[in-house]
C-alpha cells in the first residue's frame, strides 16, 4: 500500500521524485513520459480545447504529501505558481496525520439548473402550475439526457421561486425554476444546460410566460463537501511558541476573519490557495469552484470566513471547512488534458464525491498553514524563503546562479528583486 508520508521528498531531485512515484504507482511509460514532456499538452489538443490557440501555458505541478483522509493515504497533485503553498499543505498534513488524520464527507452530488421566466400573466398561478407539472417536467428533462439516468443520476426534483415580488422592487417580477440534477461523477454543466434548454418550451406553455436564461447555478449548495481536523496542542508547538499559544493564535485569527470582510477575503484566499491547485491539476473548472465558494461564504448577508476554528473540551484545536464543490472525475478537461488524467491517477479517487472531499481537505490544511505562520513567526519567514528562487529568476539568474543568489538573499534577509539584480550583476562580473 502506498504511503503519502515521504520525509524529505523536497530535498530530492526532480528525477529522484519521479522515480519514487513510479515505484509506487502502476504508471505506463507513456504516462510517465507525460510528466517529463516539454509540452505535456500537445498543441493540436489545445487547439481543440479553446479558440485562437497560439501556444500552451504551463504551471509547476507539485505533490502535497502526508495527507491521511478518512484513513486513506493521498498524494495530492497541485498545479500552482505560488511558492510555499505545497510546502505548507504538506506541513499541516504531517501534523494532522499524527493526530489521526482528517475526516471528510459530502452530500449527494446534486447541481442546480435555473430557468428564468418573465411576463407571466399571474406569477402565483404560474408557480402553482409548474409545481403541479413537476413530474412531467422532470420526466422531460431526463428524456433530454437519458444516459445520465442510466448512470444512476438525472433530474430528481424541481422547485420554483418568484423574484422581485415586492411592489417597490427595482426589477420586474420573474419566476425561477430550479431543476435539481444528480450529475454522478460529472461537474454537470453541459448536461444540466441541455436539460434546462430542452424543457424551456414546456415551461413557457405551463406558465404562459417567456423564458430567457437556461443555465446551471454555480452556487452548488446541494453539492457540499466538508473536512474536519482535531489537533492536540502539543502537535502545534512551533519554535518558542507553545502549542496552546499557537492554538489560541489560530482561533483569534479565525475570529478576525469571521468578524471582518477585509480580513475574510485574505483568509479565504489562503483557503483557495489549497483548493484551486487541485481543481486545476485535475482539469476541473476553477472559476466555477471559486465563484461557488465565495458566494457560500456569505452568511446572513455578510462575507465571512469559510472555515471555523475552535477549542474543544479537551483543549484540542478543531477546524472545519464546508464548501460547494462542483468538480468531476469525468467531463470537461479531466479526460482530455494528459496531466489531468495523471493527476486523477495520482489521487486515486474513485468518484467525484471523493475528489470533492480531498479538495476541501487541502483547503482546510492550507488555511491552518497560513494561520499558524501568521500567528507565530509571520508569513514572510517561511513564504519568502521559498519565494527567493522566483525572485532570483525574476532578476535574471539562471542555472546554478539561482540557488546561489536565493541563498544570499535569505542570508542578508533582503528577498527583493532589486537586491537580487545587484547580486546577479556582481555574480556575472
Ligand X SMILES: NC(=O)C1=CN([C@@H]2O[C@H](COP(=O)(O)OP(=O)(O)OC[C@H]3O[C@@H](n4cnc5c(N)ncnc54)[C@H](OP(=O)(O)O)[C@@H]3O)[C@@H](O)[C@H]2O)C=CC1
Ligand Y SMILES: CC(C)(COP(=O)([O-])OP(=O)([O-])OC[C@H]1O[C@@H](n2cnc3c(N)ncnc32)[C@H](O)[C@@H]1OP(=O)([O-])[O-])[C@@H](O)C(=O)NCCC(=O)NCCSC(=O)C[C@@](C)(O)CC(=O)[O-]
Catalytic site residues? 82, 269, 285, 383
Among ligand X, ligand Y, none, partner that 266 touches (CB below 5 to 8 angstroms by kind): ligand Y
Is 185 a binding residue for ligand X by CB under 6 A? The answer is yes
CB of 292 to ligand X, least distance (A): 9
Bridge-based pairing of strands 302-303 and 110-118 is unpaired
Among ligand Y, ligand X, none, partner that 114 touches (CB below 5 to 8 angstroms by kind): none
Residue nearest to ligand X (CB): 331
**CA gap 60, 40 in Å, rounded:** 12
CB 96 within 8 A of CB 64: no
Closer of 209 and 277 to ligand Y (Cβ): 277
Helix axes 123-132, 134-144, angle to 10 degrees: 70
Among ligand Y, ligand X, none, partner that 330 touches (CB below 5 to 8 angstroms by kind): ligand X
Phi-psi region of 207 (alpha: psi -120 to 50; beta: other; left: phi over 0): alpha
Binding mask 265-304 for ligand X (x = CB under 6 A): --------------------x--x----------------
Closer of 133 and 218 to ligand X (Cβ): 218
| Residues facing residue 367 across a β-bridge | none
CB of 6 to ligand Y, least distance (A): 7
3-state SS class at 157: strand
Among ligand Y, ligand X, none, partner that 332 touches (CB below 5 to 8 angstroms by kind): ligand X
Give the residues lining the site for ligand Y (CB under 6 A): 7-10, 65-66, 82, 84-88, 90-91, 94, 266-267, 269-270, 273, 369-371, 373-374, 379, 382-383, 386
Q: How far from chain centre, in Å, is Cα 27?
A: 25
Is 184 a binding residue for ligand X by CB under 6 A? The answer is yes
Q: Name residues contacting ligand X, limited to 188-207 (CB under 6 A).
A: 188-191, 193
CB 117 within 8 A of CB 207: yes
Q: Minimal CA–CA distance to 117: which of 181, 215, 217, 207?
A: 207
Binding mask 84-113 for ligand X (x = CB under 6 A): ------------------------------
Closer of 8 and 121 to ligand Y (Cβ): 8
Q: How far from chain centre, in Å, is Cα 378?
A: 25
Closer of 187 and 384 to ligand X (Cβ): 187
CB of 294 to ligand X, least distance (A): 14
Q: Among the residues of 175-315, which ranges form H helices?
A: 189-207, 243-259, 261-281, 286-296
Among ligand Y, ligand X, none, partner that 386 touches (CB below 5 to 8 angstroms by kind): ligand Y
Q: Sheet of 224-231: strands edge to edge?
A: 103-106, 224-231, 317-324, 307-311
**CA gap 162, 116 in Å, rounded:** 10
CB of 151 to ligand X, least distance (A): 5
CB of 119 to ligand Y, least distance (A): 47
CB of 170 to ligand Y, least distance (A): 36
**CA gap 112, 343 in Å, rounded:** 27
CB of 86 to ligand Y, least distance (A): 6
Identify the H or E element spanning 95: helix 85-98
Is 332 a binding residue for ligand X by CB under 6 A? The answer is yes
Identify the H or E element spanning 115: strand 110-118
Residue nearest to ligand Y (CB): 382
Q: Minimal CA–CA distance to 309: which of 382, 378, 236?
A: 236
Is 357 a binding residue for ligand X by CB under 6 A? The answer is no
Alpha-carbon dihedral angle through residues 362, 226, 97, 65, given to the nearest 10 degrees = -20
**CA gap 364, 246 in Å, rounded:** 16
Closer of 80 and 186 to ligand Y (Cβ): 80
Among ligand X, ligand Y, none, partner that 361 touches (CB below 5 to 8 angstroms by kind): none
Report the interface residues with ligand X, using CB under 6 A: 147-148, 151, 183-191, 193, 216, 218, 285, 288, 328, 330-332
Amino acid at each position: 500500500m502506498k504511503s503519502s508520508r515521504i520525509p524529505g521528498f523536497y530535498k530530492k531531485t526532480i528525477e529522484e521524485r519521479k522515480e519514487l512515484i513510479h515505484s509506487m504507482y502502476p504508471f505506463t511509460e507513456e504516462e510517465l513520459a507525460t510528466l517529463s514532456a516539454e509540452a505535456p499538452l500537445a498543441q493540436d489538443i489545445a487547439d481543440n480545447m479553446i479558440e485562437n490557440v497560439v501556444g500552451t501555458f504551463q504551471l509547476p505541478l507539485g505533490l502535497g504529501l502526508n495527507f491521511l483522509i478518512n484513513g486513506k493515504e493521498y498524494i495530492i497533485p497541485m498545479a500552482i505558481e505560488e511558492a510555499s503553498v505545497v510546502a505548507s499543505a504538506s506541513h499541516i498534513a504531517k501534523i494532522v496525520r499524527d493526530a489521526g488524520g482528517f475526516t471528510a464527507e459530502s452530500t449527494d452530488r446534486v447541481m442546480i439548473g435555473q430557468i428564468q421566466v418573465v411576463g407571466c400573466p399571474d406569477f402565483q398561478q404560474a408557480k402553482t402550475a409548474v409545481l403541479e407539472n413537476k413530474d412531467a417536467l422532470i420526466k422531460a428533462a431526463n428524456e433530454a439526457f437519458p444516459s445520465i439516468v442510466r448512470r444512476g443520476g438525472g433530474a430528481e426534483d424541481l422547485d420554483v421561486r418568484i423574484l422581485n415580488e415586492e411592489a417597490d422592487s427595482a426589477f420586474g417580477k420573474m419566476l425561477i425554476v430550479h431543476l435539481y440534477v444528480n450529475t454522478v461523477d460529472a461537474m454537470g454543466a453541459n448536461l444540466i444546460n441541455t436539460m434546462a434548454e430542452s424543457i424551456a418550451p414546456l415551461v413557457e406553455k405551463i406558465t404562459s410566460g417567456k423564458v430567457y436564461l437556461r443555465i446551471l447555478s454555480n452556487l452548488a449548495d446541494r453539492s457540499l463537501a466538508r473536512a474536519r481536523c482535531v489537533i492536540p496542542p502539543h502537535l502545534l508547538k512551533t519554535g518558542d511558541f507553545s502549542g496552546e499559544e499557537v492554538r489560541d493564535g489560530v482561533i483569534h485569527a479565525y475570529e478576525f476573519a469571521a468578524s471582518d470582510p477585509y480580513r475574510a477575503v485574505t483568509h479565504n484566499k489562503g483557503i483557495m490557495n489549497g483548493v484551486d491547485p487541485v481543481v486545476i491539476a485535475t482539469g476541473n473548472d476553477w472559476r466555477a469552484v471559486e465563484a461557488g465558494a465565495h458566494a457560500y461564504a456569505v452568511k446572513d448577508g455578510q462575507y465571512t470566513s469559510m472555515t471555523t476554528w475552535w477549542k474543544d473540551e479537551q483543549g484540542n484545536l478543531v477546524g472545519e471547512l464546508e464548501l460547494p464543490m462542483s468538480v468531476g472525475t469525468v467531463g470537461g478537461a479531466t479526460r482530455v488534458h494528459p496531466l489531468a488524467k495523471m493527476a486523477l491517477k495520482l489521487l486515486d479517487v474513485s468518484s467525484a464525491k471523493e475528489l470533492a472531499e480531498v479538495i476541501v481537505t487541502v483547503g482546510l490544511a492550507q488555511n491552518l498553514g497560513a494561520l499558524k505562520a501568521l500567528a507565530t513567526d509571520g508569513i514572510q519567514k517561511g513564504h519568502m524563503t521559498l519565494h527567493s528562487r522566483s525572485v532570483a529568476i525574476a532578476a535574471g539568474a539562471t542555472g546554478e546562479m539561482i540557488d546561489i543568489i536565493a541563498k544570499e538573499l535569505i542570508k542578508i534577509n533582503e528577498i527583493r528583486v532589486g537586491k537580487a539584480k545587484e547580486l546577479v550583476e556582481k555574480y556575472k562580473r
